[in-house]
Structure 1
Amino acid sequence: MNELEQLRRAMRATEGPYHDDLDLTAIMRDGRRLRRRRRFVGAGATALVTVLVAGGVGLGVRWVRPPAPDRPPVGGVVAPTGASPATPPPGPAPTGASPATPPESDPQRRPVGDVVEAGIWYGVDQRVYYVVAIDLPKVPGVRIGLMAGRRTPAGDLTDDIVVNDVRGSDRRPGFHEIGYDDATPSAARPPVPTFGYFVGPVTRIVGTVDGRQVDARLAPWSTDPELVIFWFDPADLAPGVRLDGIVARDRTGRLL
């Protein structure tokens, strides 16, 4: 039996039950004695723990007093049940940064050669097609594109859609990029009929959609008649509808 157990037995031996006729003065006196004994027991336990710690150093044993139930361990943070640790508010935004500026829109592109009238009207404005200059440093063989625009009665032009090659040469024989309108029609811009250009002695271009054939309208470019601009009337081919196929023929009907 160690000293701590002897103290506890002595304490229990002195704590006898009270009789039915309670003596308040005796109870208070016994309570003061009990508190003094418990303080003594606590001091003795502390001394005993100190001895144990000192004796265990050579054995590699280290005793650590457990934390009180209502106190977190040293160096840790205990969050209340059902709550998460508070998150610090975000710091101020870095200084010196400015919002990104949207890129400016391309300036109005001037036509190269004559403007081709399509005979399609939007109020007083008319659908027109015209060649424009293109600058692709990595593709030196492509210098022109085809623009679908509108022209007012005063002659002012509005660019809508431009198509151009992205590799090779813009003058190679055959069909080049075809322009389809994928935008939703709005008051700001009416739908653009399907269009493109062909290089060669073409006199007829026929598109196929849903098993039917649709003829395109043709107009040679004023700067080079070998480049022929074509477009489909929206009454024959709704803008945005993709062609299943397209062919070009010369004046003899030969397939180009």
Structure 2
Amino acid sequence: MNEVDELRRAMRATERADWNDLDLGGIMREGRRVRRRRRVAGSGAVAVAVAAVVIGVGGAVARTRPPEPPVLGPAATATAAAPTATADPGPTEPRPRPVGAVVGSGIRYGGDERVFYVVPVDVPELPGVTIGLVAGRRSPGGELATDYLVNDVAGSDRRPGFHEIGYDPQRRVPAYAPVPTFGYFVGPAARIVGTVDGRHIEARLARWSEDQRLVIFWFDPGVLAPGTPLDGIIARDARGRKL
């Protein structure tokens, strides 16, 4: 039933035997009640239609004056602002923070330098693995970019010997900054030598500032092309003994 039908029902409810005695005040009150009910039931701003009620009285046509539309308060007239479309940044991972000193390699890509540094890692199923080694870049302003991270996948990250060795066969980092083969050794290594196609290639070394037993090594990309897997690798102490 629409509002006009409701008003007609109100007219019928207030009709008397004599058309001249119509209760126009009752009709108007009923009409206002209907509009108020629609305002409460609706959501947001409500547009109220006001129609002239035509009543035939003794052959003449009489029109009731349309009631003034109710004044809608700010809550009823306010329209919701369309949401502004914004790019969803999505979840982001925090940049790994170095533990101890950052090791410079002297390898440069324009203004950036290839660096290596240790970061904390959390592997719930491996309580003995708490650190990883990053091959990153350092800008002239000192900002670090992480290119490649390696960490052990079994045992302990401080057991003696070689640990996971990083090399990027698919060149996932920018082509202008290829990652040299790198890794770390735990023990008194004074030399680390890799073998590729019968060639012996000596790595460059640096001890981790937080644990002198941990030796970070990397191979010069001009001698060992980045992404080339090693055929073998050995470490020797200061006396030349194999470790």
Q: Deviation of residue 218 (structure 1)?
A: 0.1
The one-character-per-residue Cα deviations of 1:174-196 (angstroms, maximum 9, x if unpaired) are 00000011233665762100000
CA distance in 2, matches of 1:208, 1:220: 22
Partner residue, 1:148: 135
Q: Deviation of residue 103 (structure 1)?
A: 7.3
Partner residue, 1:168: 155
Paired AA for residue 234 in structure 2? V
- After superposing on structure 2, the runs of 4+ consecutive aligned residues of structure 1 that deviate more than 4 Å are 185-189
Q: Which has the higher Rg, Structure 1 or Structure 2? A: 1
Paired AA for residue 149 in structure 1? G
Tell me: CA distance 1:103–1:162, structure 2 relative to 1, closer, same or farther (3 Å): farther
Q: Deviation of residue 107 (structure 1)?
A: 1.8
Paired AA for residue 182 in structure 2? F
Q: Percent identical across equivalent pairs?
A: 65
Of residues 138, 144, 162 in structure 2, which corresponds to 1:157? 144
Of residues 211, 216, 230 in structure 2, which corresponds to 1:243? 230
Paired AA for residue 200 in structure 1? G
Of residues 204, 218, 221 in structure 2, which corresponds to 1:234? 221
Query: RMSD over aligned Cα, in angstroms?
Result: 1.8
Paired AA for residue 241 in structure 2? R
Paired AA for residue 213 in structure 1? H
1:163/1:179 contact within 8 Å kept:
yes
Return 5+ residue gaps in structure 1 as ranges. Answer: 1-100
Paired AA for residue 194 in structure 1? T
Q: Following superposition of structure 1 onto structure 2, how do residues 72-221 of structure 1 map, counting pairs within 5 Å? A: 104-184=91-171, 187=174, 190-221=177-208
Q: Following superposition of structure 1 onto structure 2, how do residues 61-80 of structure 1 map, counting pairs within 5 Å? A: none
1:116/1:129 contact within 8 Å kept:
yes
The one-character-per-residue Cα deviations of 1:190-218 (angstroms, maximum 9, x if unpaired) are 21000000000000000000101000000
For the residue of structure 2 that corresponds to 1:135, the secondary structure is coil
**TM-score normalised by length of structure 1:** 0.58
Tell me: CA distance 1:151–1:143, structure 2 relative to 1, closer, same or farther (3 Å): same
Partner residue, 1:70: none
Tell me: CA distance 1:211–1:154, structure 2 relative to 1, closer, same or farther (3 Å): same
CA distance in 1, matches of 2:123, 2:217: 24
Tell me: CA distance 1:255–1:102, structure 2 relative to 1, closer, same or farther (3 Å): farther
CA distance in 2, matches of 1:108, 1:156: 11
The number of aligned residues is 156
Return 5+ residue gaps in structure 2 as ranges. Answer: 1-87
Q: Deviation of residue 167 (structure 1)?
A: 1.0
1:160/1:189 contact within 8 Å kept:
no
Q: Deviation of residue 106 (structure 1)?
A: 2.8
Q: Deviation of residue 104 (structure 1)?
A: 3.8
CA distance in 2, matches of 1:206, 1:241: 15
1:116/1:130 contact within 8 Å kept:
yes
CA distance in 2, matches of 1:115, 1:151: 9
CA distance in 2, matches of 1:240, 1:253: 28
For the residue of structure 2 that corresponds to 1:225, the secondary structure is strand
CA distance in 1, matches of 2:174, 2:129: 33
